[in-house]
């Protein structure tokens, strides 16, 4: 089983739609969680950190469910510019490599 698993998609949604991605992680001792955004063949960039209480940044909401070991990202009112690959990232303190990346979920927002 992969340490971090994401549905690769692709997700094709119309502009204005709400879309949700899930990510599961295997190590229950994982401590920090992030969502990164990667545009085609460019470097990943931090979208938002994921806190235990959940957090929101404009149209984006991230949630953490430790009991079920998954995190989610909700995008409301999708824009064309949201088209990208979204990477789930898990941090495990005490692990030498620490950051583990999911393989990404591809989103295309259609006009």
Q: Which residues bind other proteins (CB under 8 A)?
A: 8, 31-32, 34, 41-46, 49, 87, 89, 91, 93, 96-99, 101-104
Q: Which is nearer to other proteins, 62 or 78 (CB)?
A: 62
Q: Is the dihedral of CA 39, 42, 44, 45 positive or negative?
A: negative
CB-based burial label for 92 (10 Å; 0-12, 13-18, 19+): middle
**Least distance in angstroms from the C-beta of 100 to other proteins:** 9
**Least distance in angstroms from the C-beta of 21 to other proteins:** 15
Structure tokens at 37: 């955004």
Contact (CB, 8 A) for 47 and 56: no
Q: Which is nearer to other proteins, 61 or 104 (CB)?
A: 104
Q: Which is nearer to other proteins, 41 or 68 (CB)?
A: 41
**Least distance in angstroms from the C-beta of 10 to other proteins:** 13
User: Residue 86's closest CA among 42, 29, 47?
Assistant: 47
């Amino acid at each position: 089983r992969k340490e971090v698993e994401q549905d690769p998609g692709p997700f094709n949604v119309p502009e204005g739609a709400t879309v949700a991605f899930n990510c599961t992680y295997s190590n229950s001792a994982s401590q920090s969680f992030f969502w990164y955004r990667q545009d085609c063949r460019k470097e990943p960039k931090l979208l938002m950190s994921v806190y235990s209480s959940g957090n929101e940044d404009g149209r984006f909401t991230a949630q953490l469910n430790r009991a079920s070991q998954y995190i989610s990202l909700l995008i409301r009112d999708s824009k064309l510019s949201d088209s990208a690959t979204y990477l789930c990232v898990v941090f495990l303190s005490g692990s030498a490599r620490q950051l583990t990346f999911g393989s990404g979920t591809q989103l295309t927002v259609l006009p």
